[in-house]
Chains A and B, each alone.
Chain A
Amino acid sequence: MGNYADSLTYNYLGADAPPTREERIGACHAFCGSCSELAGGMKTGCAQLQNRKFSQSGGCQLNLAVGIVSSFTNAVMIIHSPLGCCSNFVGNTGLRKTMRASKGKPNEEFVWLHTNMDELDVVQGGIDKLRKAVLYAEREYHPDAIIIANGCVPGIIGDNIDSLVGELKDQITAKIVPVHCEGFKSKYVASGYDSAYHGVLKHLIDPLKKEISAIPGADEEKDIKDRYRISRTVNIFNVGSNSNGDEVELSRLLSAIGLIPKVLPLHASVDDLKHIGEAALNVSICATHDDYLLGHLKERFGTDYLIDTLPIGIRNTNQWIRKIAAYFHLEAEAEKLIAFENAELNKALDLYKPVLAGKKVFVGGGETRILTTAEFFYSLGMELVGVKAHNVDRFVDDMIDDMQAPELLIEVGAGQPAEELNLLRKLKPDLYIGHLNANGWVSKLGIPNFPLFGQSLNYMGYSGAFELARKAVKILKNTNFVRNVSANISLPLSKEWYNRDPKENIKEAVNF
């Protein structure tokens, strides 16, 4: 799979904003059919040219972009837009508190500003208000970074945010980071990650200059130590769906084969980001999130990168470790670790396998996460009845082939619960595992479920695999909640819809 990323280039920093993923890698966001049909459609390009007759609210790249940059330590967010864009911060401020606490970082009040664009600003432009907001943020909070994310309105009316950044950047101490993430620009909402990283790469990743020591020979000694440290350092790129438990587990595994793990960039400080180039290898744990960042870092710092599988379940965790170990010629160490860990884990899982054997499972969410999760539950003896991906791109080509399940049902769509519930009602899985915002609907349908990630849920690595199996068994121990809910709370879907094939909702259309 690394091969696919190798075919891409990442030198886009000359532009204010990155290309959308539709332009950059092409992706399918509307599909319903079998895995083999999808794989064929992706190769011919047909799958990328589909859309919906009836659509429901999915995601917005603004929210994904802001999800990354708002996590930085001592940063103030400015949302340049009318009030609604990112108004959901009011419900999420507590998440920052618990997330930081779980990582042992001191509590920090999350501060954000809205430029609150109104009708007059639509006509006259909103740059003056944005200037005031930036100066207020600097004066009141002295942050390390002031991050400006813009919504659709300034994008359509043509507010020139970058020229404002140029004007202000030498007047204030904070780094100003523009993030261009207008929602209408991309149906492939993961484009938002590229928007965020574009801003970060352009304005925050500023390598520290070396200080020269006055003591003769001191530099040489320090250089040798630094070079050794860097030659063993692996940057693990975390994403919003990682818990601290995941980061601890993945760091443990890399430490066990003699490497120095460093977890970046979510919840990092501006200073941490300055050291981002000090690593021998950058490791993605999810291609959908960070190929843009890793590809760029390779071009700029020469740091090699690895974009492979997500370390979820046994097989994929093994593979993840082997690929990293191979880069450092630590194959023997890796095999020793894998043999030891697999033996212990398999013994522990033996208790759960009889409970899960033969039960039907359906997984929905981000493409790599669902495929690896599905593989794990399949390996425990469960029957995989279908998957639903937010979108599908070439990064998972190999993974779909590896599944060796050409007939497996796959639906592609961010959100789109009507299609998904239609399928679930027909497939009747015993267990559903799904992305945020999907599980409530599934409960109303009466299907036991649990979330695809969670702040306190260790999901990755070997300890994560055990937790996943344990959770599945726990959920099935008492399914009364969903039974009662489905018997008494109705869904808004018509009877006729359930009788139809959701495939009928997909049509050929331009993809921009």
Chain B
Amino acid sequence: MAEFIERAKFTCALGGALTTIAGINRVIPIVHAAGGCAAALSGTYNLAAGYRGTGYCGGTMIPTTNISENNIVFGGEERLEEQIENSLEILDADLYIVITGCQVEIIGDDAVGVARRFKDRNVIGASTPGFLGNTFKGYDAVIKAIIKEVVTPAENKSLNTVNILGVVPGHDVFYRGNLDEIKRLLGLLGIRANTFFGTGESIADIRRYGEAALTIVFSNQAGIESAELFTELHDIPSIRTDLPIGPEATESFLYQIGEVLGIEKEYIEAVTEKEKRKYYSFLERIVDIYSDIDFQRYVIVAADSYYAYPLTRFLANDLGWIPFITAINDITDEGEQENYKKKFEGITSVTKPRVTFNQNAGELIKEVRGSWPFNHNQKYYDTFGPAFVVGSSIERGLAEKLGAGFLSVAFPVSNRVVLSKGYVGFQGGLTLLEDLITELVSAR
């Protein structure tokens, strides 16, 4: 049984389905649920993903059956059929995805079955009630429906094409910028990356994703089921890796992919050398101020598993900060927690972070207080500082209590506007550096 969560950094499966669909060009959700679900859930990511907005057909524009008590008693399938029929006339899209809320699933409406009747008019369906789980469940439900119904099976694979999974639009606040950089990086090795949500990608492109030779999953929680379905239906193997932030992680990411796809090491070396030279030519600019004022910080990272390790790795291995606590909020299975912890063995700083798993946001402050010696009013006391918190907007209160610097990166991010920015790769490492150091000088 799942536990209650204090200040959950997630929405439900339906919310996850909505943010995923909103990430694909010219695709429209048709929501079979009570009237408020769609706009409210879409609102979660519109506001808290760096003001991502409603997009093409989000928020109040989302077609919804608006079922009420009458339908709870008598069923809502007819109403859904009427809504699909009218949505096809009034709304303009390349694909329509019927998704469901809690109410209609409890009463047993077969929404996916109703959607199937409209298959020849580009309608597909996925079951996404809120009680199925969090955002990630909705992401996988939608992507699986697309893999099943939209992606065309291909006999011949294109050996230098890969599919990208695990980057959840909105939940990764920087997903557009991140995906564009992943595309650019893989492009340097002559690899074409299919990302579902990247700039310029459309349903016409997604239909051809069956031609890929490999799936790369950037998450331990989202995209795993979808990757398995790619294997099962389209014979595409998959690997899991971590989001590469900064030069060290990006270099090892490129070698990892190169090895799987059989790209020559010398070639990868030449590419990364050039990129690293460029990276450090920019980094050089902050060497003076970093050293003259001592910009090294103790750092607390609070994020989901998608960002927690990649951020800690960059801050410790590349920037030379002292990782103190890394708190992860989305892994509940103890076995998976142990596996995730192992990643941190590769952190190269003298001090390794304490890695914790807790879904309740308010408990992190207790963790911090409990892991640093108390001040008993002694004359000489080693305080916890100078410190920095890299987390979500919810950790702003923690940073204020600790007197620490603060940058929100993981969802929710409601104190920054994010447009094209990304934190992945060589370029993203520089952007992250700019944002961190800007925070330290911004009061000047």
A156 to B132, CA, bound (A): 16
Interface segment among A83-91, A197-205, A217-225: the answer is: A83-91
User: Is B260 interfacial (CB 8 A cutoff)?
Assistant: no
A56 touches B130 (CB 8 A): no
Listed A/B pairs (30) with beta-carbon separation below 8 Å: A54-B89, A62-B36, A78-B4, A82-B12, A83-B130, A84-B11, A87-B40, A87-B41, A88-B40, A90-B394, A91-B44, A92-B47, A93-B414, A109-B397, A113-B4, A117-B2, A118-B133, A120-B2, A130-B4, A152-B102, A153-B106, A157-B106, A183-B34, A183-B36, A183-B37, A415-B60, A438-B60, A492-B93, A493-B92, A496-B90
A415 to B6, CA, bound (A): 31
- A118, A136, A152: the one within 8 Å of B1 (CB): A118
Chain A residues with CB under 8 Å of B38's CB are 57
CB contacts (< 8 Å) of B2 on chain A: these are 116-118, 120-121
Task: Flag whether B153 is at the interface (Cβ < 8 A).
Answer: no
Q: A58-B39, A87-B44, A153-B102 are in contact. Are A186 and B68 (CB under 8 A)?
A: yes
Q: Does A497 contact B (CB under 8 A)?
A: yes
Could you tell me the distance in whole angstroms from the C-beta of B93 to the nearest C-beta in chain A? Answer: 7
Nearest-CB distance from A422 to chain B (Å)? 9
Task: Tell me if A187 counts as interface (CB < 8 A to partner B).
Answer: yes
* B134 and A83 contacting across the interface, CB-CB below 8 Å: yes
Told that A54-B87, A130-B4, A492-B56 touch, could you supply 12 new A-B pairs with CB distance under 8 A?
A57-B38, A58-B39, A81-B130, A82-B130, A117-B131, A118-B132, A121-B2, A132-B4, A153-B130, A184-B103, A438-B60, A490-B56
Q: Is the CB of A494 within 8 A of B89?
A: yes
- Interface membership of A15, Cβ < 8 A: no
List residues of chain A with CB within 8 A of the CB of B6. Answer: 111-113, 136, 140
Minimum Cβ distance to chain A for residue B259 (Å):
39
Known contacts being A87-B11, A93-B394, is A58 close to B5, with CB within 8 Å? no
B342 on interface, CB distance cutoff 8 Å: no
Q: Map CB proximity to B onto A415-444 as digits: 1 under 8 Å, 0 otherwise.
A: 111100000000000000000011011000
**1/0 per position for B40-79, CB-CB distance to A under 8 A?**
1111101110000110110111111111111110000000
A112-156 contact mask (Cβ, 8 Å, vs B): 1 or 0: 111111111110000001101100100011000000000111001
Instruction: Say yes or no: is A454 at the interface (Cβ < 8 Å to chain B).
Output: no
Q: Is the CB of A90 within 8 A of B91?
A: no
A60 touching B5, Cβ below 8 Å: no
Q: Is A45 an interface residue (CB 8 A)?
A: no
The complex places the Cα of A497 from the Cα of B89 at a distance, in Å, of: 7
Measured in the bound complex, the distance between the Cα atoms of B129 and A121 in whole Å is 13
A84 CB contacts on chain B under 8 angstroms: 11-15, 37, 40-41, 44, 130
Nearest CB on B from A127, distance (A): 12
State A437–B46 Cα separation when bound (angstroms).
11
Interface residue total, chain B, C-beta cutoff 8 A = 78
* Complex interface: chain B residues within 8 A of A78 (CB): 4
B412 within 8 A of A: yes
Q: What is the CA–CA distance of A67 and B67 in the complex, to the nearest angstrom?
A: 23
- Chain B residues contacting A136 (CB-CB under 8 Å) are 4, 6
Contact A91 B68 (CB under 8 A): no
Q: Which residue of B lies closest to A55 (CB)?
A: B66
Question: Is the beta-carbon distance between A59 and B83 smaller than 8 angstroms?
Answer: no
- Chain A residues, Cβ within 8 Å of B388: none
Which B residues touch A112, using CB under 8 A?
6-7
Residues of B within 8 A of A114 (CB): 4-5, 8
B406-435 CB contacts (< 8 Å) to partner A: 411-412, 414-415
Alpha-carbon distance between A112 and B60 when the two chains are bound, in angstroms: 25
Closest-by-CB residue of B relative to A76 is B6
Give residues 1-40 of B contacting A (CB, 8 Å).
1-15, 28, 31, 34-40
Assess A90 versus B34: contact at CB under 8 Å? Given A55-B83, A56-B60, A494-B91.
no
The smallest C-beta distance from A132 to any residue of chain B, in angstroms, reads 6
Closest to B398 in A: A109
Contact in complex: B35, A91 (CB < 8 Å): no
A302 within 8 A of B: no
Is A63's beta carbon under 8 Å from chain B? yes
Instruction: Please tell me if the beta carbons of B68 and A116 are within 8 angstroms of each other in the complex.
Output: no
Contacts of B320 in A (CB 8 A): none
Whether A53 touches B1, Cβ cut-off 8 Å, given contacts A59-B39, A82-B12, is no
In this assembly, does A360 line the interface, its C-beta being within 8 Å of a C-beta of chain B?
Answer: no
Interface of A is mostly: mixed
Distance of A140 Cα from B252 Cα, bound (Å): 43
A96 to chain B, nearest CB (A): 11
From B36, B86, B414, give the contact of A189 (CB < 8 A): B36
Question: CA separation between A86 and B411, bound complex, in Å?
Answer: 16
| Nearest-CB residue, chain B, relative to A441 | B61
Kindly state the separation between the CA atoms of A52 and B64 in the bound complex, as whole angstroms. Answer: 11
B362 located at the interface, meaning its Cβ lies under 8 Å from any Cβ of chain A in the complex? yes
B393, A94: Cβ atoms closer than 8 Å: yes
User: Is B333 located at the chain interface by the 8 A CB criterion?
Assistant: no
Whether A156 pairs with B72 at a CB distance below 8 angstroms is yes
Count residues of chain A with CB under 8 A from any CB of chain B.
77
- Taking a contact as CB atoms closer than 8 A, the residue among A90, A130, A441 that contacts B48 in the complex is A90
State how many angstroms separate the Cβ of B386 from the closest Cβ of chain A: 23
- Nearest CB of A to B107, in Å: 8
State how many angstroms separate the Cβ of B356 from the closest Cβ of chain A: 17
Q: Determine the distance from Cα of A119 to Cα of B63 in the docked complex, in whole angstroms.
A: 26
B61 contacts A116, CB within 8 Å? Answer: no
Question: Which residues of chain A from 322 to 339 have any CB-CB distance to chain B below 8 Å in the complex?
Answer: none
Which of B11, B59, B86, B93 touches A83 (beta carbons < 8 Å)? B11
Q: Are A111 and B66 in contact (CB under 8 A)?
A: no
Contacting residues, chain A, for B82 (C-beta < 8 A): 53
Nearest Cβ on chain A to B365's Cβ, whole angstroms: 10
A58 lies within 8 A of B90 (CB): no
A53 and B34 CA atoms in complex are apart in Å by 15
The CA of A186 and the CA of B36, in the complex, are separated in Å by 10
Task: Give every chain B residue within 8 A of A493 (Cβ-Cβ).
Answer: 90-92
Inside 8 A of B39's CB, which chain A residues have their CB?
57-60, 415, 437
> Are the CB atoms of B44 and A90 closer together than 8 Å?
yes
> Does A487 touch B at the CB level, under 8 Å?
no
A61 at the binding interface (Cβ < 8 Å): yes
Would B4 and A119 count as touching, CB distance under 8 A?
Answer: no
Contact of B7 among A111, A115, A151, A512 (CB under 8 A): A111
Give Cα A88–Cα B58 distance, bound, in whole angstroms.
14
B183 to chain A: closest CB distance in Å? 23
A56 to B29, CA, bound (A): 11
Cβ of A185 within 8 Å of any chain B Cβ, yes or no, is yes
Q: How far is the CA of A136 from the CA of B44 in the complex (A)?
A: 25
Per-residue CB proximity of A478-512 to B under 8 Å, as 1/0? 00000000000010111111000000010000101
Bits for A35-59, please: 1 = Cβ < 8 Å to B, else 0.
Answer: 0000000000000000011111111
Interface centre among A58, A84, A85, A415 (most CB of B within 10 A): A84
What are the residues of chain A within 8 A of B134 when measuring CB–CB? Answer: 83
CA of A421 to CA of B427, assembled, Å: 41
**Distance A417 CA – B59 CA, assembled complex (angstroms):** 10
Q: Which residues of B contact A152 (CB under 8 A)?
A: 34, 101-103
Q: A83-B11, A122-B131 are in contact. Are A90 and B35 (CB under 8 A)?
A: no
- Tell me which residues across on chain A come within 8 A of B37, comparing CB atoms: 57, 60, 84, 183
The residues of A that contact B86 with a CB separation of less than 8 Å are 53-54, 505
The minimal Cβ–Cβ distance linking B43 to chain A, given in whole angstroms, is: 5
State how many angstroms separate the Cβ of A455 from the closest Cβ of chain B. Answer: 14
Q: Which residue of B lies closest to A84 (CB)?
A: B12
Question: Closest A-chain residue to B7, C-beta based?
Answer: A112
Q: Which residue of B lies closest to A435 (CB)?
A: B60
**Given A90-B414, A184-B67, do A437 and B44 touch, yes or no (CB 8 Å)?**
no
